[in-house]
Amino acid sequence: MQPNPSAQSDKKRFITDAIARRVVTVFGLMVLVMFLLLIMHILSNAYPLLNKPTISFDQTLAMESTDNLLSIQELGDQTTLLSKGQCEVVVHNIGEAALEPLATFAHPCSSVIVEMPNNGSHDSHYGLIRSDGLVELFGLFQTGSDIKRRLVSSFVIPNYKDLLETHGRENLHWKLDKYRNKVVLYSVIDNSHYLSIWTQLNTLSNVQTLRVEQTSMFVPVVRFDRVIIERDGQAQLINQQGSVVQIFTSEETNVEQVLLSPNQRTVYVSTNKGQTLVWRNANIDGKFAYVNAGLLVGLKEDPLISVQFDRQTLIGIAADAGDRLYIFNSATNEVVTTRNIGISSQALHWYNNTLYLVSKDKLHVYNVANTVGVTTWSSLFSPVQYTGYTQAEYIWQTSQSAVFAEPKFSLVPLIIGSLKASILALFVAIPLALGAAIYTAYFSSSKVRNWVKPSIEMVEAIPSVIIGFVAAVWLAPFAERSLLALLILLVCTPLIVITLAVVHGVFTQTAIYHTVRRYYLFIVSVTVLLLVVGIFQGSMLLQTFAMQSADSWLGNWLAQITITKTTIVVALALGIAVAPTIYSLVDDALFEVPEGVKQASFALGATELQTLTRVVLVVALPSIISAIMLGLGRAFGETMIVLMVTGNTPIADWDLLSGLRALTSNLAIELQESSIGTAHYHILFLTAAILFAFTFVINTIAAVLKRRLQAGDQHA
């Protein structure tokens, strides 16, 4: 029996089709899997922001005596504990199981070792007062495995011996607080009398002495040459002359504790009503003062007794009199984690995600995990009152100019920037794209359409970096020189179109129209072009005349306005980049309107314009709306144009003459600069998730609207 060639060919083709179908299916599934992996990677890196920080116990180390503790400080890459002996200062390494002595520095037994409260704002230091009143500050540093000290600075307390005799003391228990080159040395004489010595290191300034009576509290604000005291139950800010500068509490409340941030720009005042008031430093009319920034939210009724801050993040850690630890956001004043440890703490120290808590003759070590979880929704999407600002604002500023400066992570300026750029780009793109699509799909011949449509679509293939470069180099200076002309042209162009439309309705009814019908569109196009050029040139002459007039208010207004690197320029550039995308989709939608529908309209006596506005555009409306929505998504996700043209200033306003920073350009700028695992790093992934969510929602809305409108037309 002879084989059937046709059957063999069909079998071979069937096998080939089956293999091709499976290969295409596998590659399609691989694309979907890669897409899902990408989304999961973005979400997994944003997820740590949703988890709260946790506090876990590590170990407890025995101390000889809490009374001998000077401070806990960082020294090189290790955390050290400084304690005092009878005639020496001992530096201990906080090891895994015990305090290990690293170095011992002897001093004259007649000298007094000064306690330096640990606020994290200085390096490893300790102070010494010799019997003649000479104060010496020593800095510790590590050389290999050795710990050494060097004299940083010194100054003399005037009439030191007379001072001791006046108060009937052989010595006083001194404390020293330091901020950069400013130093205050203070001691309590009795329960209501404090004495302080103020000076600036390495200068010729005179040493100043301040005596404060009738107070049970003395908190130096060295940075601003101020002191916070308690008097009559109120927390008062006084200057070096003892005059009251500001009062932090009302007459109805009594102050129980006052704590300072390491940069001394934030004050925490605990009252007898179980509240902790937050005051932040701000510039008010050229003078620095503290303004009320609300309450520390989420605390129990017990007052705070100690507070510590991270150097590079928004983490604040506090301990209260009720043996509780709190982790709070130092910008929004929100407590995010609370733990009852059952230990009465005397001091706190925070370094490298490790918390050191000092209690009676013991040092307790705790580990803090997921510190990025201190970022709250309020810090991302609500106005926040940062130090230096008189009111709450939306601010994005991740670069820090100093230690303990607050990073500012408000996403609102970035979201507003993206929305402002993309929405305004549509005002440029829609008229261009819709007008061109109507001409090529409805009015022009097939030959013209076959030339024009590919040419416009080729613009879409131009790299956005080229468009951004042209906009930055040519468009921005041109817009700067032609501001008035562009504004007048923006107002007059719609009037020109409306006027020509009215004239068109009358002119098409005349006999002349049928004579020039073949060249009618060309005549109209030339007319529009001449009118636009004429209005622009006339406006330029008016602008030149106004700028040359000395008393012209218009010239003064134009001189004060600059639009380089502003929203107007990015809207023009981005609109030109998005227009081809919208044009291509709208052109296809208009061209695919059935010819029978158009002919039926003409048969009923409708004109071309009436058929266009009442039939063609109505039938293609679902696709037109879908094209505009897709254009919005394309503009929202644009990177290079907004990166090169906007100036990248994250400002939370809708001013067209101000700059902006979009989510996309922010990712391009800062992702490479962020450290892996930091809050900044995870927040950038959150912005990527917001970008994905926005484009996904926009595309979904476009598809749903198109389907519903098409379904409604079919039912109609």
Grade residue 565 by pLDDT with cuts at 50, 70 and 90: low
At 174 the pLDDT is 85
CA-CA distance, 591 to 663, in Å (whole number)?
Answer: 36
User: Which domains are assigned to the chain?
Assistant: 54-408 (2.130.10.10), 412-715 (1.10.3720.10)
Q: Please determine, for residue 121, whether its predicted confidence score (pLDDT) is greater than 50.
A: no
pLDDT of 689 over the 90 cut: yes
Mean pLDDT of the chain: 84
Statement: residue 708 has pLDDT above 80: no
Sign of torsion over alpha carbons 581, 583, 586, 587 = negative
| Mean pLDDT value across residues 595-617 | 84
Task: Decide which of 85 and 32 is more confident.
Answer: 32
Residue 106: strand pairing partners: 88
Res. 483: pLDDT tops 90: no
- Looking at residue 547, its pLDDT comes to 67
Contact 688, 43 (CB under 8 A): no
Q: What is the pLDDT of residue 496?
A: 78
> Once rounded to an integer, what is the mean pLDDT over residues 39-55?
91
Joined together, the tokens standing for residue 346 give 């005397």
Report the DSSP beta bridge partners of residue 326: 318, 338
Residue 337: which pLDDT band, with cuts at 50, 70 and 90?
Answer: very high
In whole angstroms, how far apart are CA 367 and each of 57, 279, 340? 6, 29, 15
Q: Is the pLDDT of residue 158 over 70?
A: yes
Task: Give per-residue pLDDT as tens, 498-547.
Answer: 787 777 767 777 778 777 777 777 787 788 888 888 888 887 887 777 76
Residue 361, SS3 per DSSP: coil
| The pLDDT of residue 685 is above 90 | yes
Which of the listed ranges 77-91, 674-688, 695-709 does the model predict with the highest average pLDDT? 674-688
At 594, the pLDDT band (50, 70, 90 cuts) reads confident
Task: Write the pLDDT tens digit of every residue in 396-447.
Answer: 988 776 666 788 999 999 999 999 999 989 988 888 888 888 888 887 778 8
Residue 714 has pLDDT above 70, yes or no: no
Radius of gyration of the chain (CA): 37
- Residue-wise pLDDT for 87-116, tens only, equals 888 888 887 778 888 888 998 888 888 877
- Mean pLDDT (whole number) for 353-373: 88
Give me 467's structure tokens: 């468009």
Helix, strand or coil for residue 674?
coil
Angle at 268 between CA 263 and CA 270, to 5 degrees: 160
Phi, psi of 201 (to 5 degrees): -70, 150
CA-wise closest residue to 306 among 289, 323, 284: 323
Could you give the percent of the chain with pLDDT greater than 90? 17
* 3-state SS track over 408-445: EECCHHHHHHHHHHHHHHHHHHHHHHHHHHHHHHHHCC
Helical H segments across 118-244, by residue range: 160-166
Provide mean pLDDT across the span 52-78. Answer: 83
- Mean pLDDT for 156-181 is 80
What does the pLDDT read at residue 563?
54
Predicted local distance difference test score (pLDDT) of residue 663? 92
Crossing angle between the packed helical segments 621-636 and 679-715, to the nearest 10 degrees: 170
d(CA 104, CA 147): 9
Measured in whole angstroms, the distance separating CA 321 from the mean position of its chain's CA atoms is 35
Q: Using H for helix, E for strand and C for coil, what is the string for 150-181?
A: EEEEEEECCCHHHHHHHCCCCCCCEEEEEECC
pLDDT at residue number 582: 92
Q: What's the maximum distance between 2 C-alpha atoms anywhere in the chain? A: 132
The SS3 of residue 294 is strand
Mean pLDDT over 461-481 rounds to 82
Percent of the chain with pLDDT over 70: 92
The residues, any chain, with a CB within 8 Å of residue 320's CB and separated by 6 or more, are 299, 300, 302, 303, 304, 305, 326
Question: Highest-confidence range of 110-124, 245-259, 555-569, 600-614, by mean pLDDT?
Answer: 245-259
Q: Classify residue 708 as left (phi > 0), alpha (psi -120 to 50) or beta.
A: alpha
Distance of CA 556 to the CA centre of its chain: 35
Average the pLDDT over 184-196 and give the result: 85
